Amino acid sequence: SRVYVSVGHQQMMTDPMRPLGLSLWQMKARVPMSEAGGRLFVDVTAALSSPAGRAGLLGMLGRSDPLIGDALQTLVDRAGFLPAPPPDVLTAAGPTPAGAPPVRPIEADPAIVAALVARSQAALAALKRDIQGKSGSALLDLIVADHEELKRFLFDATGMQVILGGIEAARWLDEHLASWLDVKNAGDVLSQSVSGNVTSEMGLALLDVADVMRRHPAVVSHLESVDDDGFMDSLASLPGGQEVHDALRHWLDTYGMRGVGEIDITRPRFCERPTMLLPMVLGHVRNFAPGEAARRIEAGQRRAAELERTITERMRTLPDAEQKVEETHRMIVRLRTFAGYREFPKYAWVSHDAVYKKALLEEGQRLVQAGVLRETEDLYFLRFEELREVVRTRTADPRLIDQRKEAFESYRALRPPRVLTSEGEAVTGVYRREHLPSGALVGLPVCAGVVEGRARVIADVADASLEPGDILVTTFTDPSWTPLFVAIKALVTEVGGLMTHGAVVAREYGLPTVVGVVDATTSIKDGQRIRVDGTHGVVEILD
């Protein structure tokens, strides 16, 4: 029997993907990935087969997504379930391939992060330069070659050290400050308003766009009735419209490659459908005063600094005070230096995908003009290698494309499991907690705090109409949802883990959050008053 773990639950995107998106993801992946129902799964059988691998995998997944961890433990506990370990995985540790170098600790140095970012920006600039004028097989060959360079960056040893350094620093602070001072979830506060988090910066930058827009009522009135993605061209004729156009254009140039379900290259991006932004930015115009982004940053920095001062003063009364203070300060510096970079590799990834996509759609148009494809987006239903063959032979099978379109539509109705076996069994994990409030919904606490408010159950970011004090309840949030985070006071999702993107940004914003709440969007009704306990991972329906 083989055991597979869902990739979508790790990436906060459980919708089905089209064949081109699946195959391009597989080209970037470090390990082989299997497909089922338009979703990707990783075979973890080899890791589970060895004691060291099993301990590493269960430990890692148990912390990041307890439902996956519990489902895997359920399988491990079944008598006779696991096969004997093959010789090549006896030394494997967890999800890391056998023979891979261990990730070593690294001291905090902002220059390390700056060098990684500069390397990525240079590679993206080179791709944009080299792809100009490319078509046909030469274009597809370039995309293959660029994937190899991108993979080297995504799995760069120094980059992994930085990401794990931030994660381990937060864990160290949580554990030691709870033990020494009974301060719970210290890492959640100490990571607020860290620098260099491109995802949280995206949300704050849209507040700045709202500041520009707010000054021009005629533009606001016009945009409230817009439903055409070409609206940017109409702004210049309005009083103040050029200023708003320039602010939106700058935002789109920086973050427009992002979009809902962005791990699938075939899904629309903000730059392709800028109307997706309008409910969010118009909500910011209504609900916030000018300068909100700067206030948010300053407030988070102040809370983090105040907690550091408080715990430093209290530690000075403890045995070995000097050593404890020094170690704690070093971990806080490491956390605040490295935590923001956690979001950058994904940003680099989707930046390259945006360049590929533009070029591939132009190639698709050429194929339509040549009579090879019926419509440009037919290429979405070809795997990348199949597209290379279509480009080479100038022939495509329309029946295959139609079959895949039908299959994709059928996949939309499926709800992917976190863990799947080769026999087709979907294994469900549970949270093993006691003494819960009656009727409470249970999840994984990823940002501390307890708040009450009106639940807004939202399925599509483009439909979001929020008021201050609302609590967002949804299936999953990938980085494209981040601009909504500034407008809410708590977050509840059905999918997510300790270090998925929504959790990372929620901690930086100081937003009480519970993820992995099974059936949250059906158990909670839109408009109900709920209590979210992001410290203990509990959601209560109050009316």
Query: Hey, which residues are catalytic here?
Result: 501
Strands 426-427 and 441-442: unpaired
Q: What is d(CA 459, CA 474) in angstroms, rounded to the nearest whole number?
A: 6
Q: What is d(CA 486, CA 483) in angstroms, rounded to the nearest whole number?
A: 6
Q: What is d(CA 52, CA 49) in angstroms, rounded to the nearest whole number?
A: 9
Do 176 and 265 meet the contact criterion of CB atoms below 8 Å apart?
A: no
Phi then psi for 126, rounded to 5 degrees? -65, -40
Do 190 and 332 meet the contact criterion of CB atoms below 8 Å apart?
A: yes
Structure tokens at 479: 């980085």
Q: What is d(CA 10, CA 431) in angstroms, rounded to the nearest whole number?
A: 17
Residue type, 143: I
The region that residue 320 occupies, defined by phi over 0 for left and psi between -120 and 50 for alpha, beta otherwise, is left
Residue type, 376: T
**CA nearest to 5, candidates 50, 51, 49, 36:** 36
Do 203 and 486 meet the contact criterion of CB atoms below 8 Å apart?
A: yes
Q: What is d(CA 214, CA 293) in angstroms, rounded to the nearest whole number?
A: 14
**CA nearest to 470, candidates 460, 455, 483, 457:** 455
Q: What is d(CA 284, CA 208) in angstroms, rounded to the nearest whole number?
A: 9
Strands 441-442 and 490-493: unpaired
Q: What is d(CA 240, CA 230) in angstroms, rounded to the nearest whole number?
A: 18
Q: What is d(CA 399, CA 405) in angstroms, rounded to the nearest whole number?
A: 10
Do 101 and 157 meet the contact criterion of CB atoms below 8 Å apart?
A: yes
Do 491 and 482 meet the contact criterion of CB atoms below 8 Å apart?
A: no
Do 24 and 150 meet the contact criterion of CB atoms below 8 Å apart?
A: no
First to last CA, the chain: 46
Do 464 and 484 meet the contact criterion of CB atoms below 8 Å apart?
A: yes
